Structure 1
Amino acid sequence: MAYTLLVRNCGELLTMDTGRPNEPLRGRALRDWHSIPNGYVACEQDRIVALGPMAELDTTQLTPATTLVDAAGQVVLPGLVECHTHLVFGGNRAGEFQRKLQGESYLDILAGGGGILSTVRATRAATPEALLDRALHHLAGFRRYGVTTLEAKSGYGLDAETELCLLEVARAAGRQQPVRVVPTFLGAHVPGPEYHGRPTEYLDMLATEVLPHLNPAAVPFVDIFCEQGAFSVADARRYLTRARELGFGLKIHAEQLHELGGCEMAAALGAVSIDHCDYLSPAGAARVAAVSGGRTVAVLLPLVPLFLRQEQYAPGRAFIEAGLPVALSTDFNPGSCPSKNLWLAVSVACLKMGFTPREALAAVTCNAAWAIGQQQECGSLARGKRADLLVLNVPTAEEIPYWLGENPVQQVIIGGQLQSA
């Protein structure tokens, strides 16, 4: 079959490929991936079938029907993978943002019925059609930033009926536009308001009334927030163990505000990712890497402490040196990160977490794909992988995080198809 799409004259073709496809990138491998100067990528339908230097391009595979994309000496890389978002929710908390700027604390706002409780009320009150409309709006925004695969957590229903609805909305949104959506069940975000002060009973309800009704083939991951004021390490261990028995992959929000041991516990259970990790110590990171055999990915969320005006950022440099695989995400949500700009997260990771530009780019592509179980399909450019790639308007990889807050995306290709702006 002839090429259906060709991206040519790539000034730097960033493959994110190290020749080790069976494990996430860690240590030196996070920055030692293969880059091809003056390269090309050829696709047949939705798959990459050839890539390499322009001098090796087989022009006999071109036909009048081949779509030609001229990168004109600019950077080309895999589509971005957003591995931690709370995509589906009702309302917003812009009013609370103003109150925070005026000095009110989150606990004061929560005590007055705000915070996550206000989002829960708005989400429960919204129709499925309204939630879907907003999810599609947000996905269009992500696509403009070059996101081609995205994880979507539930977690703003906090009752069985609404949580199941949020998962179905996320799946419907994935079917109605080109960005791939991977649903994650985060019913265990915090106890629902009807279970105030009874976190164990709430988890028991989820384990008996929700998890058995979910299909791991459609909703592959179960997540929990392990933190003071949410769920303890012991409760999280029991809940995740039950989820694993039912065939789900495991994730955890942990060490966001305190080092409680949730990351190590989840890694010992085989979690695919540990998320936030702002208070995970370098010694704890080394233990996570050891107990997981380097398979558990730490998903770091640099825009959260930025938006919340916190001083503590995850020590990404120390994690890398400890051999812990790391990924980056926005944590898009209405309370602590109302931003879809994953490029800004790349820049802040370099400024505040010690990443180099090459490490940060691998963290939003290859390792982000590992963090949501999509490494066989996306996250790097290689023969047989899905043809998700971006043409940027910068000539070098090092320049990407330098342009703080800018969107460098010139063209987005998903499944071998050029996307409109």
Structure 2
Amino acid sequence: MDTGEVMDGREEGHRQTNAPNSEAPVFWAKVVQCRGSGNPHLAKLVLRRLSQASTSYRYRHVAPHPSKSSILRLVQQAAAKFTLRALQLFQPKCLSSAECGTGEVELHAWLEGIPQLQRTVPRTTLQLHWDKVTIELKISPEEIYPDGFQGDGCIKAVGQADVIRNQFSGATFERIIDCSGKCVLPGLVDAHTHPVWAGDRVHEFAMKLAGASYMEIHQAGGGIHFTVEHTRKATEEELFDTFKHRLERMRRAGSTLVECKSGYGLNLETELKMLRVIERAKQSMDIGISSTYCGAHSVPKGKTATEAADDIINNHLPKLKELKLSGEIHVNNIDVFCEKGVFDLDSTRRILQAGKDIGLQINFHGDELHPMKSAELGAELGARAISHLEEVSDEGITAMARAKCAAVLLPTTAYMLRLKQPQARKMLEEGVIVALGSDFNPNAYCFSMPMVMHLACVNMKMSMNEALAAATINAAYALGKSDTHGSIETGKQGDLVIINSSRWEHLIYQFGGHEALIDYVIVKGKVVYQNERCGTMSSY
């Protein structure tokens, strides 16, 4: 069932036209934020509990609204989708209060995170509201998964093949993949992307090759401002369509969790449009997404940095908080482009602190083109991660290491803009948590984390082991998700990449060779990509 789909629950042949009255309220139903894989036991449980909760209230067949049985059937269908975030039943508006009771009825079946991790599964509350009466039913994880959290998409066991076979000798599986001669790796995590935009900038590539700098193009009205103009004009549907295809290409290259930023709107209307597109992909696509509000990606034309910061703090962030509370948009991180000629250190501090105050993780651009002391600021504010860092100071590296603030390095950007490489080796030696990202955007058009790892090894002198860790567990850490993603461990989400090679290093060694190497990409235990020529061609 798609997010926001309205189910017409009329039973076949039913034609009753009696007007509703206060003694027999009628309802129509709308499912919001329904996603995930099937779990029949959960469906039956929610159906049974809903039936128990509703016995004291009368339902009546009144066309064109669904009957009680149709509503229960709707719940069963939605719950079978595994994560029913909210099911709302509303009493419809009637012609007069004499014809229809005024009490609003809402049913909220909050089944959030069932379960992301065995050790953190919350108890679930099923509530039925009628006027000022509330019935709460507590549902424990054991009731939802009596056989040990079946169907949750998490890894059940890791070990030697014979031990695993014995442990699950009596179990049945939907699918078994023979990985003989192959390697199984954690799903790759792309810790920095700008994937929602309209209008490419291929014409600027020739300008860069001719020697134009990033800021020269930016100040001439190109760069971010060019993309902003086209993104503002694009419809939400157009943006979603291109975003979906970009995510699919990232997934085929092995990415199973991607950080996705807004930032090509710069006004509230377009920033929210981009965030809605990201939220829609979260709900409808089999790929992990960490969403980032990046309204401070550039200073809008006609404003100063201070004026832009004031607008973000006074208008954008309060609206994000409101939408988060209503469940419409869930943003994870806040980003600012802290750079000379963009947002200075003071404006950056104000915006990041305001974002942190509403519960967003700090994850921002810093020390890319000029030394700005962004690393020191991020460490002071408790930032989760800072990206770029080509111009980071020695003091900044030390501060990040002490604060356990991740450095998200972007070798594609340094390569495309001919910048000096980030000091990956010094950061690693100082104890900084080094992660990698593709920085996919119109200025650095790269979907492939295997290629990013290759560039990190060649240009930033990282070892292949370091690059793999930076593109999995460390990148997950940079997004605040290392407890659920980034490694193959019991209880973590079952995100995997299976490559057609007996040595995992081929994923990095073969520059651009991932299309022949990657046989399967798996997200939450579900095969989301299978190479059509899997097993029929050599990867060498």
TM-score range, shorter chain: 0.7 to 0.9
For residues 34-64 of structure 1, what are the alpha-carbon distances to aligned partners after superposition, in whole Å with 9 as ceiling and x for unaligned?
xxxxxxxxx9551110111113123444555
Distance 1:270 1:64 in 2: 46
> RMSD value over aligned CA atoms?
1.9
Give the 3 Å change call, closer, same or farther, for CA 381–65 of structure 1 in structure 2.
closer
2:359 matched to which residue of 1? Answer: 247
Distance 1:362 1:404 in 2: 18
For residues 368-387 of structure 1, what are the alpha-carbon distances to aligned partners after superposition, in whole Å with 9 as ceiling and x for unaligned?
11111112221111111111
2:502 matched to which residue of 1? Answer: 395
Give the 3 Å change call, closer, same or farther, for CA 269–109 of structure 1 in structure 2.
closer
1:181 to 277, 284, 289: 289
1:98 Cα shift? Answer: 2.3
SS at match of 1:49: coil
2:416 matched to which residue of 1? Answer: 307
Distance 1:364 1:134 in 2: 24
1:191 matched to which residue of 2? Answer: 299
Contact in 1 for aligned 2:400/2:406 (Cα 8 Å):
no
For residues 209-234 of structure 1, what are the alpha-carbon distances to aligned partners after superposition, in whole Å with 9 as ceiling and x for unaligned?
11011146810211101111111112
Query: Do structure 1's residue 68 and structure 2's residue 176 form an aligned pair?
Result: yes
Query: Do structure 1's residue 298 and structure 2's residue 396 form an aligned pair?
Result: no
2:380 to 259, 262, 268: 268
For residues 94-138 of structure 1, what are the alpha-carbon distances to aligned partners after superposition, in whole Å with 9 as ceiling and x for unaligned?
111123224444445334432111100000010000000010010
1:341 Cα shift? Answer: 1.0
Query: Do structure 1's residue 101 and structure 2's residue 209 form an aligned pair?
Result: yes
1:279 matched to which residue of 2? Answer: 391
Code of the residue aligned with 2:233 in structure 1: it is: A
SS at match of 2:260: strand
1:318 matched to which residue of 2? Answer: 426
The size of the alignment, in residue pairs, is 374
SS at match of 1:420: strand
Contact in 2 for aligned 1:85/1:150 (Cα 8 Å):
yes
Distance 1:192 1:139 in 2: 28
1:12-411 alignment runs, 5 A limit: 45-59=152-166, 60-61=168-169, 63=171, 65-195=173-303, 198-215=304-321, 218-290=330-402, 292=403, 294=404, 296-310=405-419, 312-335=420-443, 337-407=444-514, 408-411=517-520
Distance 1:57 1:108 in 2: 59
Distance 2:524 2:298 in 1: 37
Contact in 1 for aligned 2:378/2:386 (Cα 8 Å):
yes
Give the 3 Å change call, closer, same or farther, for CA 111–246 of structure 1 in structure 2.
closer
Contact in 2 for aligned 1:282/1:319 (Cα 8 Å):
no
Structure ranking higher on relative contact order (CA contacts 8 Å, 6+ apart): 1
Contact in 1 for aligned 2:333/2:362 (Cα 8 Å):
yes
2:527 matched to which residue of 1? Answer: 418
2:123 matched to which residue of 1? Answer: none
Task: In structure 2, list runs of 5 or more residues that go unmatched.
Answer: 1-38, 40-149, 531-540
Contact in 1 for aligned 2:494/2:525 (Cα 8 Å):
yes
Code of the residue aligned with 2:468 in structure 1: it is: L
When Rg is computed on C-alpha atoms for both structures, the one with the higher figure is 2
Distance 1:380 1:364 in 2: 10
Give the 3 Å change call, closer, same or farther, for CA 168–307 of structure 1 in structure 2.
same
Distance 1:264 1:112 in 2: 31
Which one is further off, 219-228 or 240-249? 240-249
Distance 1:288 1:107 in 2: 27
SS at match of 2:159: strand
SS at match of 2:508: coil
Distance 2:169 2:162 in 1: 14
Contact in 1 for aligned 2:309/2:350 (Cα 8 Å):
no
1:347 Cα shift? Answer: 0.7
1:302 Cα shift? Answer: 0.4
Contact in 2 for aligned 1:315/1:354 (Cα 8 Å):
no
1:194 Cα shift? Answer: 3.1
Task: In structure 1, list runs of 5 or more residues that go unmatched.
Answer: 5-42
Give the 3 Å change call, closer, same or farther, for CA 245–263 of structure 1 in structure 2.
same
